[in-house]
Amino acid sequence: MRACDERTVKDFGASWHSLMERAGCAVAKFALRQFPQAARITVLCGKGNNGGDGLVAARHLQASGKGVCIVMLAQPEQFQGEPRAMFRLLPQTLQQSCLYMQSEEDLHRADVVERFAQTDLFLDAIFGTGFHPPLRDVAAALQKKIAEHSAPVVSVDLPSGWDADSSAMQAVEVFRSDAVITFTAPKLAHVFGALTRGPVVVAPIGSPAEAVVSEAGLSWTGASKKVIEPPRALDSNKGRFGHVLVVGGSPGKAGAPSMASLAAMRAGAGLVTAAIPRSVASIVAGFAPEMMTLLLEESPAGGISLETLAEKHRSAMLRGITVLAVGPGIGREPETATFVRELVRETNLPTVLDADGLNAFEGRTEMLDGRKRPLVLTPHPGEMARLLGCKIADVERDRVTTARNFATQHHVTLVLKGWRTLVAHPDGRIAVNTSGNPSMAKGGSGDLLTGMVAALVAQFPQRISEAVECAVWLHGAAADIFVRARDEHTLLATDLLSHLSEAIRMPVERDGFTWIQEGRP
């Protein structure tokens, strides 16, 4: 971020003053949008650039008619550069009403206690991107004080105490947060850390896209949502949007291919066919009248038989198909596992592999090669561990490296599900997903994602990277919409599909911010 700001000033003619002014103005705008009823706002300022952003925000909030008080963790003479200039730009009344805290004892002063008791909203502008933990001295004491307070907290750049370069989910002894606003681009902590249950937004402050470079090779899945946003041509027909074949199902697992097929239809595929064993046909066929079915030969155990790959059967099964989705509910019966491996080996069609379709390659990952045709794998950590022959803890220890190495070595797109699902591409790029919530921890969620990924790939075969990222983001966003209106416990997997349209229509850029995380109660 520091390098980005320096390039913006040196190469694109911006000034440090203008960057800070825009940042602080964005903070004030965001605070007013999120907490319009807050009449008395207390701005907590450190002596660095984060504090400077807070001073600018305080000025704009006061100008909007809010009652503002600044609590400073340093004396004015300790400010340097732009923060000092921003302090001098404060109206005299605001300068004179500042409260200064130099030690933990200051928290017990009558004027501080009174101000905190009257506060409707805190702005945390103490430490930002350049901070390295832990909190010390008065900042550590203030963190504990704010933790006990009922007023919401808007974090400027980061909740004070977080390391911006950390990819950990949790951090100890950090300021609580109800909303986070950062600038120009998200940092590692914004996409990997559980900073808040509220929104996390990015505000532009003047840095052009050319100045933003991710040394980690990371991007954000929400940026690919644009692939599905343009309206369809008026003369569209179903043939333009692909034909997805969902291959799966076994005794007791008929729901999985049904849900994957329904998700593919809801996500926009022109045609969807569920290829299933004969014994589960009546269950699957009754799931949705729009879904076509193809009955496959069965093994003695009731799974899909190898006989299905005989030339006459295979050509009939794949005729007119543009994308395969293999695995939902297919089971682990040995003959069926062999069928999966042979089908994937022989086909030239873009293929999405999930569930037992992935498990069929346990100990045989050399057969997973995406150079022949696009191959998308969607494992959860357990399935990933089986593919690698390791423990789940080994996968979770460094998810980014695990995903990147497998994707590049096997030339596949790998969707590693879990907290902050990763979409790793064959060229080493990785997109981090920030949509979704714990309500999705139920059977069937993965089957829906399989169908959605297949549908997006079918519609945008020339933009597969964006299609997969978009599907992953929409999957989580639909669950977020459900939870905002209901409860995390009650979601059924298929409930996601009733909110998919809202997710598609919800722009990730609005009101002047990019919404990295929408937030929920």
**Is residue 123 located within the same domain as residue 269?**
no
What gap in Å lies between CA 248 and CA 43, rounded to an integer? 57
Segments forming the whole domain that contains residue 310: 243-504
H helices of 347-463, in order, are 356-359, 381-388, 392-397, 399-410, 445-459
The whole-number pLDDT of residue 352 equals 98
Report the 10 Å Cβ neighbour count for 120.
16
Neighbouring-strand partners of residue 292: 273
Tokens at residue 215, please? 């040394």
pLDDT in tens, 230-262: 999 999 999 999 999 999 999 999 999 999 999
Tokens of 516: 């990295």
Phi, psi of 32 (to 5 degrees): -65, -35
In a domain, 120, yes or no: yes
CATH of the domain at 248: 3.40.1190.20
Distance CA(182)–CA(126), nearest Å, equals: 14
Which pLDDT score, from 0 to 100, does residue 204 have?
95
What pLDDT, on the 0 to 100 scale, is given for residue 427?
96
Q: Which helix (H) or strand (E) element contains residue 294? A: strand 292-296
The sign of the torsion formed by the CA atoms of 480, 485, 489, 490 equals: negative
pLDDT tens per residue across span 374-384: 999 999 999 99
Lowest mean pLDDT among 314-318, 436-440, 462-466, 515-519: 314-318
Would you say residue 80 lies in a domain?
yes
Residues 172 and 316 in one domain: no
DSSP labels for 437-492? -GGG-STTHHHHHHHHHHHHHHH-TT-HHHHHHHHHHHHHHHHHHHHHHS-TTT--
Percentages of the chain per state (helix, strand, coil), in multiples of 5: 45, 15, 40
Whether 294 and 408 share a structural domain: yes
Residue 97 predicted with pLDDT over 80: yes
Using DSSP's 3-state secondary structure scheme, residue 121 falls into strand
466 and 363 share one domain:
yes
Same domain as 123, residue 60: yes
Task: Identify residue 424 by its one-letter amino acid code.
Answer: A
CB 23 within 8 A of CB 56: yes
The CA distance from 142 to 139, in Å, is: 5
pLDDT given at position 263: 97
Note whether 261 and 206 are same-domain residues.
no
Nearest in space to 416 (alpha carbons), one of 426, 424, 405, 408: 424
Q: Do 443 and 378 share a domain, yes or no?
A: yes
Structure tokens at 502: 């809202």
User: Total structural domains in the chain?
Assistant: 2
Does any domain span residue 218? Answer: no
* 272 and 406 housed in the same domain: yes
Look at residue 261 in the predicted model and tell me its pLDDT: 97
Residue 50: both structure tokens together? 């984060």
> For 151-189, how does the pLDDT look when each residue is reduced to its tens digit (9 = 90+)?
999 999 999 999 999 999 999 999 999 999 999 999 999
d(CA 345, CA 331): 19
Is residue 422's pLDDT more than 90? yes
Query: Could you tell me if residue 206 is inside a domain?
Result: yes
Q: In which element (H, E) is residue 295 found?
A: strand 292-296
Q: Is residue 513 part of a domain?
A: no
Residues 431 and 476 sit within 8 Å (Cβ to Cβ): no
Same domain, 125 and 260: no
Q: Which of 338, 315, 335, 302 is nearest to 245 (CA)?
A: 315
* pLDDT given at position 138: 95
Q: How far apart are the first and last CA of the chain?
A: 31
pLDDT of residue 311: 80
The radius of gyration of the chain's CA atoms, rounded to the nearest angstrom, is 26
Instruction: Output the domain CATH number for residue 194.
Output: 3.40.50.10260
Q: Is 236 inside a domain boundary? A: no
- Give the pLDDT score at 521: 61
Chain mean pLDDT for the chain: 95
Q: How far apart are CA 337 and CA 446, in angstroms?
A: 19
Report the 10 Å Cβ neighbour count for 229: 11
Give the pairing type, strands 323-326 and 351-353.
Answer: parallel
> What would the two tokens of residue 3 be?
């390098």
pLDDT over 70, % of the chain: 100
Same domain, 169 and 304: no
What's the farthest any 2 CA atoms get from each other in the chain? 87
Q: Which two tokens stand for residue 67?
A: 């009652």
Asked whether residue 367 is domain-assigned, the answer is yes
Residues 127 and 247 placed together within one structural domain of the fold: no
131 pLDDT higher than 70: yes
Percent of the chain predicted with pLDDT > 90: 86
User: Is residue 311 located within the same domain as residue 206?
Assistant: no
According to the model, what pLDDT value does residue 215 have? 84
CA count, 13 A, side-chain hemisphere, 362: 17
At residue 45, does pLDDT exceed 80? Answer: yes
The reported pTM is 0.95
* Residue whose C-alpha is closest to residue 8's, from 303, 225, 261, 206: 206
Residue ending a domain, among 213, 228, 261, is 213
Residue 238 lies in a domain: no
User: So what's the pLDDT on residue 316?
Assistant: 85
